A and B are shown apart, each in its own frame.
Chain A
Amino acid sequence: MKLKTHLPDTVRSPMVVSGFLLLLAIILSISTFQFTSDYDPAIFDAGNRFNPPSVSNPLGTDRYGRDVLSQVLLGGRITLATCSMAMITVMFIGITFGIVAGYSGGIVDRILLSLIDVLLSFPSTVLAIVIAGFFGPSLKNLLIAVTCFWWVRFAQITRGMVLKIIHEPDIEAAVAIGASRFTIIFRELLPRVTGPIIILATMELGKLILTISGLSFLGLGAQPPTPEWGALLSDGRVYLTRAPHLIFAPGIAIFLTVLSLNLLGEGLLSLNKGLKKEEVELL
């Protein structure tokens, strides 16, 4: 077992490894599906409606005779692409606000902190519902709504980290030798904040996927012809008894994706002992 000791911690954590492999498998199958599947998810086939899973249609067909597997894979692209984009935006906004609040302190910090407090005390689903309600249900509006509120957690956590880091000897040394604000923020704070924030974003991405697909399931997000996972599930719910594969296929796709992200995030989080406190604050 000599080899094992030479491997980095990351590779030895079963959570990280299984999460990473699962996520890799999902991303690969989603991105290569045109090359592996003969089905066009948009083609109707009236003779093959509600087929149960078979060799030619591994996940069966839906009420229009479309191949469910290709729909789920195509939907995965939409879900993953939109949610990742939203998550990156949210991270960017959150880190910016967090660093500004934590680094400048004083009145700026107080104002931003109370804004964070107000937004955090609100259930984010309600806020998303409001925006969908006033601007009409669509995936775009839902994503905008979610982005408007999701950054708050990141800002809160970044701020907490900055407040702690700022009193470490090397930052104080940098200040002492007259490093500019720019240098301190981009050279010292940002690199140290980014790592943990990316780990947190992994887990938040799972939550975001659940929220987006949940609201799409209610009809507040992606609208029916779009094969988004939540919308697919809601499409199939009427035929639950007749064709249960219609809800299981997208449902399990969501489950596995969120699971892989959570395993990866949790695993990395527990390796990163310094993050324990933020882990608590994250919730």
Chain B
Amino acid sequence: MIVLKLLIYRLIRAMVLLWIVSLMIFTLIRLAPGDPVDYILGANDLAIGDTGTIELQKKQVRKNLGLDVTATQQYLNWIKRLALFDLGNSYRSGKSIVSELADRLPATLYLAGAAFLVQVSIALGFGIIASLNEDRWADHLIRLIGVLFVALPSFLLGLILLEIFAIRYPVYDMIGQVSFKRMWLPALTLGVLTSPPVMRLIRVNLIREYSRQYIVFGRSKGLGKKRLVGIHALGNGLLPILSVFGVNLAGLFSGSVIIESIFVLPGIGRYAVESIFARDYPAITGYVLLITFIVILLNLFVGLSYAFIDPRVRNTGYITK
């Protein structure tokens, strides 16, 4: 029953979030400089002859785009089409944006997923080591390396790695389909660079857990270090970080914009950047809505996962923050 209540609460939250974002995006579209009609018809400053025809043409395009009604009506129409997964057509290619995004989504999903695995495993491994050696040289060394990596611009590292692994010693495949051979280098770059903050968080949380009474009790009971740290401290210490994992995964979808561009991956991030240069507004809108959808889905998933992982949430509805 409580899980159901939680589900409904989370769903309502997700809907409200979606609504707010849709309003924000719609406002931005309306505020954007330039008239979409001009983009479609092209610059008509040079048009010679009958301006009446051009005005008529403009009116027709405006009507086709649904721009001849009030803003509220436009918003409602827009939402209606969104509900049917109709994002319109790209100004550039004329193809439907849903299918264009769908073609590019796998590369981004692969990249974000793989980078997430790299990020979490590095953060977990070094976070545990650092927490067990608090204020000793291993801890300081890991921290220093973390500070160095956080300061490294992803585009610099990406370009250097590309030069080394694709040109000097060609072990990385620059062309080809979305596959391990194509993805390992960008995923590694993205994962390594984003791991230090997560590592720091894991370290701090674990150190806090070590001083808890249940650990002292476990130690006095004679439990081994592996079991104490690996099961008891890790389980409790990671719980508050779960939501950070969700936010991070969402961040990887967007952080992949630079990496996708450097490694020329056919993902949605590079699509968005190309769309910006082409002033392809429907495509940009589609990209943002897709990211919004992914973010909301992730939040929903993380929120609900607490109910399955943490018995306190399942039985009492208590929400860990």
Contacts and interface: CB of A to CB of B under 8 A. Distances in A.
Are A and B associated in one complex? yes
Interface of A: 15, 118, 120-126, 129-137, 206, 210, 213-214, 217-220, 230, 233-234, 237, 240-241, 244, 247-248, 251-252, 254-256, 258-259, 262-263, 266, 276, 279-280, 283
Contacts of B288: 126, 129-130
A254 B153 contact: yes
Contact of A240 (B152, B159, B247, B258): B159
B291 to A, nearest CB: 5
Contacts of B33: 135-136
Interface string B252-266: 011101100100000
Contact of B28 (A130, A214, A220, A240): A130
Given A214-B154, A259-B151, A125 B201 contact: no
Given A134-B284, A218-B261, A233 B155 contact: yes
A126 B299 contact: no
B254 A241 contact: no
Given A137-B277, A266-B147, A283-B197, 9 more contacts: A118-B17, A121-B299, A126-B291, A129-B276, A129-B284, A129-B287, A133-B281, A233-B153, A254-B156
B150 interface: yes
A218 B148 CA distance: 23
Nearest to A124: B254
A248 B163 CA distance: 13
B295 A129 contact: no
Contact of B272 (A129, A244, A252, A255): A129
Given A134-B28, A217-B258, A283-B197, A258 B295 contact: no
B205 interface: yes
B32 interface: yes
A263 B17 CA distance: 37
B150 A219 contact: no
B195 interface: no
B2 interface: no
Nearest to B240: A280
Contacts of A206: 150-151
15 contacts: A118-B17, A122-B250, A122-B295, A135-B33, A137-B276, A218-B273, A220-B273, A237-B159, A240-B163, A241-B163, A247-B159, A251-B159, A256-B151, A258-B153, A276-B204
Interface string B139-176: 00001000110111111100100010001000000000
A124 B288 CA distance: 12
A255 B193 CA distance: 13
Which secondary structure characterizes the binding site on chain A?
helix
Nearest to B29: A134
A236 to B, nearest CB: 9
A279 B150 contact: no
A136 B277 CA distance: 8
B54 interface: no
B250 A230 contact: no
B287 to A, nearest CB: 8
Contact of A280 (B204, B272, B287, B295): B204
A197 B66 CA distance: 48
Contacts of B113: none
Given A134-B28, A259-B148, A283 B244 contact: yes
A241 B167 contact: yes
Contact of B31 (A123, A134, A244): A134
B102 interface: no
A214 B258 contact: yes
B156 to A, nearest CB: 4
B20 interface: yes
B254 A255 contact: no
A240 B150 CA distance: 23
Given A121-B299, A130-B284, A263 B147 contact: yes
B235 interface: no
B199 to A, nearest CB: 11
Nearest to A132: B276
Nearest to A260: B151
B151 A129 contact: no
B88 interface: no
A133 B284 contact: yes
Nearest to B261: A218
A258 B156 contact: no
Q: What 10 A-B pairs have minimum CB-CB distances, sorted nearest first?
A: A123-B254, A251-B156, A259-B151, A258-B151, A134-B32, A133-B284, A133-B276, A125-B254, A126-B254, A217-B155
A281 to B, nearest CB: 10
A123 B296 CA distance: 12
Interface string B177-202: 00000000000000000000110110
